[in-house]
Structure 1
Amino acid sequence: MTTDSPGILLVLDGWGHAPPGPANMISQAATPHLGALAAGHPATLVRASGDAVGLLPGTVGNSEIGHMVIGAGRPLPYDSLLVEQQIASGRLAGNELLTRTCARLAEGGRALHLIGLCSDGQIHAHVEHVRELLRVAAAIGVRAVWIHAITDGRDVADGTAAAYLSHVEKFAAEAGVGRIASVVGRGYALDKSGDLELTRSAALAMADGVGARVAHALEAVDGAERGDVWVEPSVVVDAGDMPVGTVGDGDAVLFTNFRSDRIQQLADFLVEHLTSRHVTVLSLARYDTRAAIPPLVDRADASGGLADELERHGSRSVRIAESEKFEHVTYYLNGRDARARQVEDHVKIVGEVSPDYLTRPEMNLPLVVDAVAEAAARRDVALVAANLANIDVVGHTGDAAATLLAVQHTDDAVGRICAAARGTGRWVLLVGDHGNAEQMSRPGDDGAPRPYGGHTTNPVPLILVPAPGRGSSGRLRADGTLADVAPTILALLGFPPGAAMSGRSLL
């Protein structure tokens, strides 16, 4: 270890700040440890959404951009922002890869298949991007565009899928081309747990027309018993009970999600499944897939961040998280750099019991705490970086009672981790990556509150617990963003900020 001031970074996923109220499960929960830390140590609020982190103004934060900006030490133009800029400038409409593909389809009478999440949550996708792609295809003369809609219910309120499908139908009518050919919930299509049976059922509905038969797309979501997330893979059929939009030889598939992690399992499956059909496969933004899928819009450079600086100084870090957030403290915190670093140890926490967030809101938090304590006791480790996933993962269920328990379990874990830090002479920096559990309802169309499990634009808390004997470290700046976290960590470790970092230490 090349520092005499080692520490622990704790990212409390979904830990946002809002005024106390009945929908704020963070204020409703019993949090004696977090309360005492905030009252007795330097604390501040930092911005974690919108242009503060590289998103469009007013856009909710998310775990991917949150961890990337924490690691990069600067705002990063997120993939959604880059797509929006391409649309606004007209560059997407003139994109050579897109126009060449559409021209081939138009000339050969082949079809374009658009596959993606149909909502405006701006976490993984934005339904308005489908509108622009339909316009481009129509202008070039593509006569058949089939839309394979993935319903949401997680990044937006549950029960809104029908409204978004209606939006898509309106976009198709405006463009004069396009029709929804299949509908499937994101629980099937955007699985990232490795359950290929879920992925297979979604892919076969899209590619081969295998699934529940419906005469109209809206029938697929009518009375969906498990909500929008688990809409059964459904295929729109014609009067002769034949699927209207299967993927044929020589067609093209364009994935419209701009975020990679949830779509890549489906994308890889479909690329392999469609190999013999000579299908062109594209993505709106760059994906981290096994298959080489050309993107229409490339991503921002996120190098020169915390991981690169720790490597440059020869300082070892240990990254710890449950499987749901493991990539966030490794791949995303490292600037979307997947290479193995000799100064990093990665500890993925996988429990013996399948996750059921409503009945087990504690998830595998005890195992995370044990792993953090074990890493903190190592004298060769300068930084332990861990994600406590519960507040966000359980918050996404929209179940306020379970989320309240998740907050309380997280508070208990924070207390135990801080005790381990005291025993090993470490400072602890706690920060949220985006808001979630502080806003568990939103007004419906009638003004009445409706359960909400999505992210927010609220600021997130940041608390510094100094190492034993180091004093209070004074106050923290009040105008910070997530981009200031990496420079703060480097300052605590005794290192200067990286040359690529525009963020400033909060100390």
Structure 2
Amino acid sequence: MSAARPGILLVLDGWGHAEPGEANALTAADTPCLDRLLGTPFAVLAEASGSAVGLLPGTVGNSEIGHIVIGAGRPVPYDSVLVEERISSGALRSDETLSAALTGVARTGGSLHLVGLTSDGMIHANVHHLRELLHIAALFAVPEVRIHAITDGRDVADGTAATYLETVEGYAAEAGIGRIATVTGRGYALDKSGDLALTGRAARAIADGAGHLIGEPKEALATTGRGEEWVEPSVVTGGDGAPAGPVRDGDVVLFTNFRSDRIQQLADHLHRDLAARGVTFLSLAQYDTDAAIPALVHRADAGGGLAARLAEMGLRSVRIAEAEKFEHVTYYLNGREAAVAPVEEHVRISGATPPDYRAGPEMSIGQVTEAVGSAARRDDVPLVVANLANIDVVGHTGDHAATVRAAEHTDRAVEALCRVASETGRWVLLVGDHGNAEKMLTESDGVRRPYGGHTTNPVPAVLVPAEGQQVDRPQGAATLADIAPSVLSLLGVGPAPAMTGRALW
């Protein structure tokens, strides 16, 4: 165990590792502080994707599972894995909750509405799950299935939505049931900032058939000037010119995303508007909605990790992040525990959200840095945890130049916080939660496109020891599951019993 000192854990969101090249915004950036730290013997690369963190092999990492595993100190089977297991085993076909809902709607002659992100980025959803759901609907003789497609342009390359819509139509033809009723960009349908005007537009298209009227699903793609993330809420019409699939009294709505955070705002909105009309709501995986929406697949336990151990030892921590990543350093890092422990303080930085992060890649990193510095100067706070969101949030725009600037803002913040740590006798541990900004281009069919999605690349993890602190150099392979045991060791505390990771320093 390392000599105990207080510390700062900085999660650099989207900070992945790859060799320098045209697609790598991180190595293109002027980041003298990070470059220097990565050249020390206390730097290591950690696996942050696939089975190392509880995802399917070869699946890109994401912020949710990244923070869950960082906090749990062990791989945690992700919701996507649990859904895949239920589908591949055929267990979903005999699920009692789903069976009851589909039997009921078949009896009344109503419709099943499938609402979710139609891509295979594997961050929030997998379009290929629709194939099994459509076949199940056919088995139960559901009269109609209406698909409310949410276009991506963020977790997958922009310009691919037409292909995914074709995939959905192919699955519907194969099952002999289903048609696309609405097409809406995720910027509207999956907003999580509390902008109910955006959510409301998506909800009205789904529930009421109110939106930009189109004859064919692909026509919706022409409505955006900001990429497929911002496809206008569009309603497909039938031969009579009327909307093809508004939600009727007594219908069933099934949300197909397996990740909760970005769809729960829409789910709550639709539930609030439609539940009184006898509409049944289900979710493919467990959501953190205000409404009680039954889930077909329940999540794995992620408790007993860093937060529980700190509480057990009476060690205070302060968690700091911008709104985009606030839940990640609180709820997800705590094993999806919503209650705030008496030894925790949560600081949410609520800066102005720009209409386009490309124009403001600095976001509110100055306020985050100030808040971390203030907490680090307190003698009653052994651990400060913060998320620096810029690299990931700006990286998702697919704009290489803006992401370079985001990395440079992040570097300056890290340099400032390392100075604070030196002044206050603290160590600093920096770690990425998944890759993103090290790959800003993708190629398919000979066409190169901007890429704003996540990657399977490892992430850096580097310790800046406190002055005079004696620590070991990291040895062997590392994963995100090793971060919580390392933090506890640096604080002079042994790991929690549930942890399978090891202290790296």
- Deviation per residue, 1:44-76 (Å, 9 max, x gap): 000000000000000000000000000000000
Task: Tell me the distance in 2 between the aligned counterparts of 1:34 and 1:412.
Answer: 9
- Deviation per residue, 1:194-247 (Å, 9 max, x gap): 110111110010010000111111111146322211111111111221111111
What letter corresponds to residue 466 of structure 1 in structure 2?
P
> Mind listing any 5+ residue stretches in structure 2 that lack a counterpart?
none
Kept in 2: contact 1:41–1:464 (CA 8 A): no
The 5 Å alignment of 1:256-267 reads 256-267=256-267
The 5 Å alignment of 1:48-447 reads 48-222=48-222, 224-352=224-352, 354=354, 356-446=356-446
- Deviation per residue, 1:418-473 (Å, 9 max, x gap): 00000000001000000000000011312x421100000000000000011114x2
| Aligned-residue offset at 1:40 | 3.1
Task: Tell me the distance in 2 between the aligned counterparts of 1:356 and 1:478.
Answer: 41
The 5 Å alignment of 1:431-470 reads 431-446=431-446, 448-470=447-469
Number of residue equivalences: 503
Kept in 2: contact 1:45–1:478 (CA 8 A): no
Task: Tell me the distance in 2 between the aligned counterparts of 1:299 and 1:208.
Answer: 32
| Aligned-residue offset at 1:352 | 4.1
Task: Tell me the distance in 1 between the aligned counterparts of 2:404 and 2:476.
Answer: 28
Kept in 1: contact 2:223–2:232 (CA 8 A): no
| Aligned-residue offset at 1:475 | 1.3
| Aligned-residue offset at 1:41 | 4.6
| Aligned-residue offset at 1:4 | 5.0
Q: Give the match for residue 23 of structure 1.
A: 23
> Mind listing any 5+ residue stretches in structure 1 that lack a counterpart?
none
- Deviation per residue, 1:94-125 (Å, 9 max, x gap): 11111111111111111100000000000000
Which TM-score applies when normalising by structure 1? 0.98
Kept in 2: contact 1:44–1:478 (CA 8 A): no
Match of 1:501 among 475, 499, 502: 499
- Deviation per residue, 1:277-311 (Å, 9 max, x gap): 10000000010000000000000001101000000
Task: Tell me the distance in 1 between the aligned counterparts of 2:472 and 2:344.
Answer: 31
What letter corresponds to residue 464 of structure 1 in structure 2?
L
What SS is found at the alignment partner of 1:92?
Answer: helix
Task: Tell me the distance in 2 between the aligned counterparts of 1:125 and 1:274.
Answer: 24
Residues 51, 306 of structure 1: alpha-carbon distance in 2 compared, 3 angstrom cutoff = same
| Aligned-residue offset at 1:267 | 0.3
- Deviation per residue, 1:394-436 (Å, 9 max, x gap): 0000000000000011011000000000000000100000000
Kept in 2: contact 1:150–1:183 (CA 8 A): yes
What SS is found at the alignment partner of 2:164?
Answer: helix
What SS is found at the alignment partner of 1:312?
Answer: helix
Task: Tell me the distance in 2 between the aligned counterparts of 1:396 and 1:227.
Answer: 12
What SS is found at the alignment partner of 2:9?
Answer: strand
Kept in 2: contact 1:318–1:385 (CA 8 A): yes
What letter corresponds to residue 174 of structure 2 in structure 1?
E
Q: Give the match for residue 474 of structure 2.
A: 476
What letter corresponds to residue 269 of structure 1 in structure 2?
H
What SS is found at the alignment partner of 2:145?
Answer: strand
Task: Tell me the distance in 2 between the aligned counterparts of 1:146 and 1:208.
Answer: 13
Which TM-score applies when normalising by structure 2? 0.98
Bigger Cα displacement from structure 2, 458-467 vs 91-100: 91-100
What letter corresponds to residue 429 of structure 1 in structure 2?
L
Bigger Cα displacement from structure 2, 53-62 vs 275-284: 275-284
What SS is found at the alignment partner of 2:184?
Answer: strand
What SS is found at the alignment partner of 2:428?
Answer: strand
Task: Tell me the distance in 2 between the aligned counterparts of 1:328 and 1:212.
Answer: 35
What SS is found at the alignment partner of 1:157?
Answer: coil
What SS is found at the alignment partner of 1:172?
Answer: helix
User: Identity percentage over the alignment?
Assistant: 63
Kept in 1: contact 2:4–2:490 (CA 8 A): no
